[in-house]
């Protein structure tokens, strides 16, 4: 006998032991299998599922039971004011990374005010992954040009697909390690959310992180190696008064500030994310 939406949602109880948000997870997975919204599920509880819809839903419940992140199962994630396609080759964009976007947009508005609004700014996103940060910035102003760099080809493929589906044209993709991908020009801003988790960090065994690419998460020297490299490389590519913005771990504020100050950056400042954790440090290049 065919199963109704209401009955299918009861199956989500199998997620109960593994996920605090099991009910929401079940609704998202069922809505995805039906290609409908969550509202639809509540409006039509007595509608029956087609055989393949039930099968798709059961398979996604199974994946979720194994701990796979919802974003990978759905193949998408909300970030800033848009939705991104994601897969297991890219980090799932985090809400705390929106702090970097908001701060970058504020500083870019400041630069534009100083140099004139019609002036195109050159912005770089190092380690773009799904393209989350680069796309949020490129959407901020069509006159800005964003260069999005990643060493991973599969990541760049996702990022480019996201740019296409969001119809963002003022973005260029480069496959390279950090600043190796940049032109010999001076940029107005470089941003990065590099890998910064220490190799032995117990968080890596938890929930979503277990399924995410370690190349996007883990760095040597307690997570500081890539942050250090980015600081030392970036200063060769920044205009006078340009900004470098780095997301980092909650316990890396002192090290990252020191990297920036030792490299000659000024106005070094750390900001806290919505959880009150040190998350973002910026510095200005005096030229």
Which residues of this chain interact with ligand GLN, rule CB under 6 A? 91, 94, 193-197, 209, 217
Question: What does the alpha-carbon distance between residue 195 and residue 271 come to, in Å, rounded to a whole number?
Answer: 18
| Identity of the residue, 119 or 250, whose beta carbon is nearer to ligand GLN in the bound complex | 250
Least distance from ligand GLN to the Cβ atom of residue 166, Å: 22
Backbone φ/ψ region at 121: left (φ over 0), alpha (ψ -120 to 50), beta: beta
| Identity of the residue, 90 or 91, whose beta carbon is nearer to ligand GLN in the bound complex | 91
Which residues make Cβ contacts (< 8 Å) with residue 241, sequence separation at least 6? 111, 114, 284, 285, 286, 287
Query: Which residues on adjacent β-strands are paired with residue 271?
Result: 280
Least distance from ligand GLN to the Cβ atom of residue 254, Å: 18
Task: Please choose, from the candidates 179, 197, 74, 90, the residue with its C-alpha nearest in 3D space to the C-alpha of residue 133.
Answer: 90
The CA–CA distances, whole Å, from 54 to 6, 43, 196 equal 12, 18, 40
| Identity of the residue, 26 or 223, whose beta carbon is nearer to ligand GLN in the bound complex | 223
What SS3 state is found at 18?
Answer: coil
| Identity of the residue, 48 or 208, whose beta carbon is nearer to ligand GLN in the bound complex | 208
| Identity of the residue, 55 or 199, whose beta carbon is nearer to ligand GLN in the bound complex | 199
Question: What does the alpha-carbon distance between residue 50 and residue 11 come to, in Å, rounded to a whole number?
Answer: 16
Least distance from ligand GLN to the Cβ atom of residue 204, Å: 9
Least distance from ligand GLN to the Cβ atom of residue 93, Å: 10
Query: Which structure tokens are listed for 279?
Result: 């998350």
Least distance from ligand GLN to the Cβ atom of residue 91, Å: 6
Least distance from ligand GLN to the Cβ atom of residue 12, Å: 25
Q: Is the dihedral of CA 82, 85, 87, 89 positive or negative?
A: negative
| Identity of the residue, 185 or 275, whose beta carbon is nearer to ligand GLN in the bound complex | 275
Least distance from ligand GLN to the Cβ atom of residue 179, Å: 18
The CA–CA distances, whole Å, from 110 to 101, 106, 159, 189, 223 equal 14, 6, 27, 12, 31
| Identity of the residue, 12 or 159, whose beta carbon is nearer to ligand GLN in the bound complex | 159
Task: Please choose, from the candidates 155, 142, 227, the residue with its C-alpha nearest in 3D space to the C-alpha of residue 192.
Answer: 227
| Identity of the residue, 197 or 263, whose beta carbon is nearer to ligand GLN in the bound complex | 197
Question: Distance between alpha carbon 150 and the CA centroid of its chain, in Å?
Answer: 13
Least distance from ligand GLN to the Cβ atom of residue 243, Å: 19
Question: What does the alpha-carbon distance between residue 90 and residue 72 come to, in Å, rounded to a whole number?
Answer: 10
């Amino acid at each position: 006998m065919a199963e109704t939406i209401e009955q299918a949602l009861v199956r989500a109880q199998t997620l109960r032991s593994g996920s605090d948000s099991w009910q929401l997870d079940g609704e998202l997975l069922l809505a995805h299998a039906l290609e409908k919204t969550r509202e639809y599920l509540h409006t039509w509880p007595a509608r029956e599922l087609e055989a393949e819809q039930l099968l798709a839903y059961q398979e996604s419940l199974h994946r979720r039971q194994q701990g796979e992140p919802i974003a990978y199962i759905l193949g998408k994630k909300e970030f800033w004011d848009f939705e991104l396609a994601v897969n297991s080759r890219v980090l799932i964009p985090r809400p705390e990374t929106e702090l970097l976007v908001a701060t970058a947009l504020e500083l870019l508005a400041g630069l534009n005010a100083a140099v004139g609004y019609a002036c195109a700014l050159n912005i770089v996103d190092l380690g773009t992954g799904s393209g989350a940060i680069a796309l949020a910035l490129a959407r901020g102003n069509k006159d800005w040009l964003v260069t999005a760099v990643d060493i991973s080809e599969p990541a760049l493929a996702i990022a480019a697909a996201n740019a296409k589906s969001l119809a963002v044209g003022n973005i260029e993709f480069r496959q390279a390690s950090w600043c190796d991908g940049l032109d010999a020009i001076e940029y107005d801003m470089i941003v990065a959310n590099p890998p910064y988790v220490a190799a032995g960090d117990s968080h890596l065994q938890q929930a979503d992180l277990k399924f995410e690419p370690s190349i996007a998460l883990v760095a040597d020297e307690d997570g500081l190696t890539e942050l250090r490299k980015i600081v030392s490389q970036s200063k060769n590519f920044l205009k006078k008064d340009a900004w470098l913005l780095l997301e980092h771990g909650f316990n890396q504020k002192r090290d990252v500030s020191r990297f920036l100050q030792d490299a000659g950056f000024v106005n070094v400042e750390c900001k806290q994310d919505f959880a009150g954790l040190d998350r973002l440090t910026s510095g200005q290049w005096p030229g």
